Amino acid sequence: MFCKKCGEQIPDDSVFCPKCGQALNETGNQEEPATGGVQGGMQVIVFIVSIIMIIVGLFTFLDTCS
Ligand SMILES: [Zn+2]
């Protein structure tokens, strides 16, 4: 992995960067995937809702025509 502060390449299990002393706690590393997961989940929900809305709208349109 690389230090988030100075960019130095450091072992994956490092707690502190040996070069600049930046704390490399797991909390910081876990935030990004968690945030991405929430956003990804929201995108899937929005996508599904959009599909449902299109289908419902299509059926409503067909009912109006017939
Ligand atoms: Zn560093």
Quickly tell me which residue has 């490399």 as its tokens. Answer: 24
- Flag whether pLDDT at 27 surpasses 80: no
User: Which two structure tokens, joined as six digits, stand for 40?
Assistant: 């990804």
Identify the pLDDT of residue 9: 92
CA of 37 to the centre of ligand 1 (A): 27
Percent of the chain's residues with pLDDT above 70: 77
| CA 14 / ligand 1 centre spacing (Å) | 11
Q: Which residue has the higher pLDDT, 53 or 27?
A: 53
33, 27 contact by CB (below 8 A): no
**Confidence band, pLDDT 50/70/90 cuts, at residue 38:** low
9 C-alpha vs ligand 1 centroid, how far in Å? 8
* Dihedral angle computed from the Cα positions of residues 21, 26, 27 and 31, in that order, rounded to the nearest 10 degrees: 110
Q: How far is the CA of 17 from the centre of ligand 1 (A)?
A: 5
Residue partners of 59: CB distance under 8 A and separation at least 6: none
Q: How far is CA 50 from the centre of its chain?
A: 20
State the distance from the centre of ligand 1 to the C-alpha of 38, rounded, in angstroms.
29
Residue 25's SS3 state is coil
pLDDT at 33: 55
